[in-house]
């Protein structure tokens, strides 16, 4: 017992010493303007480091500190910080959160600064719209995410399909999914699937299912924000997804319960041929499954044109920031050519400035060319209550894919809920 006590005391003393040392480190930055930068993507950490180096070499007393905010915590942590009057200076947050947070005054008006930017017309306008309110600009598109379809050329070859011809229309999608679904070991159950649906998360339905409705000339909101979801176009899109599971048996029922990670893992494992994907998967697929030969295409369309969901982050200065001028200096730096091309392009992340797409990193991959083209198709629904539409979206869409709600009433009831929420 004595020995344990002595060890314990020793640890305590050492810990106390390092404790004191650690607290000391924090001091001495009093004169500096400290900018707090939050982002859900770690690449921003590198940008912050480069910014600090530049400031140091220019002799400016500005130092940025980066904090990674996990995706699931980006709202709670922001709300807690705002309530305490301690919001970060700069926040790169999921774009769908902006309309609400701008409406409660959480972000600073940067219209003037924006108008002075030489590349302001190169930013994707459809996405910028979420950072605007009453003709004022509060936030700019920074990291772009687009929903697409990946197809496994390996599995296309094995199934006797042309590996260079991805499905473009709903009919193609049905045909290919059926041919890709196979029972290889003959136990009566498919062990490889053509298609998989988007599962247990509302954001995924918005990101991957909505483009099916758009590609069928349907919409969720019209230009004035009115709910126009209850339409034949929406029903047909949902019917297609339903049929892929129950009629054509080309997608597992359970995929209506999967997370995106599950779908990704199935694609990597060679158990899924057509993968509802996004630009953010390209690099990881190449790393996790180097032998997988895959292509990128638009999400198949019905009677309309192929569509994609414009997602990602906007970046803005919070209204609680005490150093808005320095924060703008940081944002300008983050949008500079060197920063975007050297930090984001090598990771094959999509950059916000269209004038920078012709770069040596994208040039190496044919898939990236496709993205440049797809960017023009991007649509993002606009609503103040984005988060509140999440819950009914998941409930009704997943419910109908699990066979618990009839398709017609799912669409009708969801439209009613949407009207209630956005009223």
Partner 1 sequence: MNKRHSFYKLLIALPALLLSLLFLAPIAWSLISSIKHTADILKYPPILFPKNITLEQYIKLFRAGDGVFLLFIRNTIIMTTFTISLVLIISVLASYAFVSLPFKGSNFIFILILSIFMVPFQALLIPLYSILNKLRLLDTKVGMVLVYSTFFMPFCIFMFRNYFSGIPVSIRESARLDGASELTILLKFYLPLSLPAVATIVVYLFLETWNDFVLSLIFSSSNNVKNIQVGIMNFGRQRFQSDWGIINSGSIFSLLPTIIIFLMLQKYYIQGMTAGASKE
Partner 2 sequence: MTLGQLASKNRMGLLFMLPSLSLLVVFFLFPLTQVLYMSFQDWNVMGSSTWEGINNYIKALGSGEFWLSLWNTFIYTVIVTPLIFVPAILLAVMLKKTTFRTEVMRVVIFIPFTISFVSASYIWSWIYNDTYGILNFLLSKIDLISRPVNWLGETWRARVMISIMVAWKTLGFSMLIFISGLQSISQEIYEAADIDGASRIQTLFLITIPILRPTIFLALVISIAGSFKAFDQFFIMTNGGPMRTTQTIVMYINKIAFENYDMGTGSAVSVLFLILLLSISYQQIRMGGYTGE
Binding footprint of partner 1 on the chain (CB under 8 A): 1, 4, 8, 11-12, 15, 18-19, 22-23, 25-26, 36, 40-42, 45, 65, 67-68, 70-71, 73, 76-77, 79-81, 83-86, 260-261, 264-265, 268-271, 278, 280-281, 284, 287-290
Say how many C-beta atoms besides its own lie within 10 A of residue 237's C-beta.
24
Q: Nearer to partner 2 by C-beta: 192 or 279?
A: 192
3-state secondary structure of 73: helix
Interaction between residue 158 and partner 2 (CB under 8 A):
no
DSSP state of 5: H
Helix 232-246 × helix 386-401 angle, to 10°: 50
- Residue in the block written with tokens 């083209």: 373
Question: Which of 238, 378, 394, 418 forms a contact with partner 2 (CB under 8 A)?
Answer: 394
Token representation of residue 355: 């004038």
For strands 33-39 and 62-68, give the pairing.
parallel
3-state secondary structure of 133: strand
List of residues 6+ apart from 385 with CB closer than 8 A: 100, 421, 422
Q: Nearer to partner 2 by C-beta: 10 or 269?
A: 269
Interaction between residue 359 and partner 2 (CB under 8 A):
no
Are residues 36 and 67 in contact, defined by beta-carbon separation less than 8 angstroms?
yes
- CA distances, 37 to each of 95, 134, 423 (Å): 16, 26, 34
Rounded to a whole number of angstroms, the minimum distance from the CB of residue 79 to partner 2 is 5
Question: Which of 14, 32, 253, 325 forms a contact with partner 2 (CB under 8 A)?
Answer: 253
Question: Which of 169, 359, 388, 422 forms a contact with partner 2 (CB under 8 A)?
Answer: 388
Rounded to a whole number of angstroms, the minimum distance from the CB of residue 307 to partner 2 is 26
b/e for 75-107, b at 16 or more Cβ within 10 A?
bebbeebbeeeebbbbbbbbbbbbbbbbeeebb
Which of partner 1, partner 2, none does residue 100 bind to, with CB < 5 to 8 Å depending on kind? partner 2
Are residues 311 and 380 in contact, defined by beta-carbon separation less than 8 angstroms?
yes
Which range binds partner 2 by CB under 8 A, 36-44, 56-64, 118-126, 391-399? 391-399
Helix 407-422 × helix 386-401 angle, to 10°: 170
Q: What is the x/- site pattern for partner 2, positions 44-73, by CB under 8 A? A: ----------------------------x-
* Cα–Cα distance, 195 to 253 (Å, whole number): 11
Which of partner 1, partner 2, none does residue 281 bind to, with CB < 5 to 8 Å depending on kind? partner 1
* Cα–Cα distance, 154 to 176 (Å, whole number): 13
Which of partner 1, partner 2, none does residue 70 bind to, with CB < 5 to 8 Å depending on kind? partner 1
Token representation of residue 253: 């029922």
Rounded to a whole number of angstroms, the minimum distance from the CB of residue 272 to partner 2 is 8
Which of partner 1, partner 2, none does residue 254 bind to, with CB < 5 to 8 Å depending on kind? partner 2
Number of amino acids touching partner 2 (CB under 8 A): 40
Are residues 356 and 340 in contact, defined by beta-carbon separation less than 8 angstroms?
yes
Binding residues (CB under 8 A) for partner 2: these are 72, 75-76, 79, 82-83, 100, 104-106, 187-189, 193, 200-201, 252-254, 256-259, 262, 265-266, 269, 271-272, 319, 387-388, 390-391, 394-395, 398-399, 402, 404
């Amino acid at each position: 017992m004595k020995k344990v006590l002595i060890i314990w005391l020793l640890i305590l003393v050492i810990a106390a010493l390092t404790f004191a040392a650690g607290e000391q480190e924090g001091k001495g930055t009093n004169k500096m303007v400290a900018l707090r930068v939050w982002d859900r993507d770690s690449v921003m950490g590198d940008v912050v480091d480069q910014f600090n180096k530049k400031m140091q070499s220019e002799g400016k007393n500005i130092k940025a500190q980066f904090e990674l905010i996990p995706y699931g915590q980006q709202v709670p942590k922001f709300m807690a910080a705002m309530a305490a009057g301690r919001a970060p200076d700069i926040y790169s947050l999921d774009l769908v959160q902006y309309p609400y947070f701008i409406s409660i005054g959480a972000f600073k008006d940067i219209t003037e600064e924006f108008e002075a930017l030489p590349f302001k017309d190169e930013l994707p306008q459809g996405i910028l719209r979420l950072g605007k309110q009453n003709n004022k600009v509060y936030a700019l598109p920074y990291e772009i995410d687009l929903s697409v379809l990946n197809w496994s050329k390996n599995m296309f070859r094995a199934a006797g399909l042309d590996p260079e011809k991805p499905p473009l229309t709903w009919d193609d999608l049905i045909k290919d999914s059926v041919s890709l679904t196979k029972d290889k070991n003959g136990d009566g159950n498919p062990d490889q699937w053509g298609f998989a649906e988007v599962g247990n998360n509302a954001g995924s339905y918005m990101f991957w299912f909505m483009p099916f409705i758009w590609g069928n000339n349907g919409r969720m909101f019209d230009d004035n924000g009115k709910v126009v979801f209850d339409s034949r176009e929406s029903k047909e899109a949902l019917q297609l997804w339903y049929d892929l599971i129950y009629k054509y048996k080309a997608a597992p029922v359970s995929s209506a319960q999967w997370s995106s990670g599950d779908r990704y893992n199935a694609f990597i494992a060679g158990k899924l041929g057509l993968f509802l994907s996004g630009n953010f998967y390209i690099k990881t697929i190449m790393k996790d499954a180097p032998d997988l030969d895959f292509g990128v295409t638009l999400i198949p369309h019905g009677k309309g044109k192929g569509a994609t969901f414009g997602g990602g982050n906007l970046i803005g200065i919070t209204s609680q920031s005490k150093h808005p001028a320095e924060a703008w200096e940081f944002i300008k730096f983050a949008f500079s050519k060197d920063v975007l091309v050297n930090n984001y392009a090598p990771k094959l992340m999509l950059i916000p400035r269209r004038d920078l797409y012709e770069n040596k990193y994208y040039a190496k991959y044919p898939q990236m060319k496709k993205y440049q083209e797809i960017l023009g198709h991007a649509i993002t629904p606009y609503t103040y209550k984005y988060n509140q539409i999440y819950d009914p979206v998941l409930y009704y869409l997943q419910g109908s894919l699990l066979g618990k709600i009839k398709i017609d009433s799912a669409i009708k009831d969801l439209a009613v809920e949407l009207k209630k929420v956005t009223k």
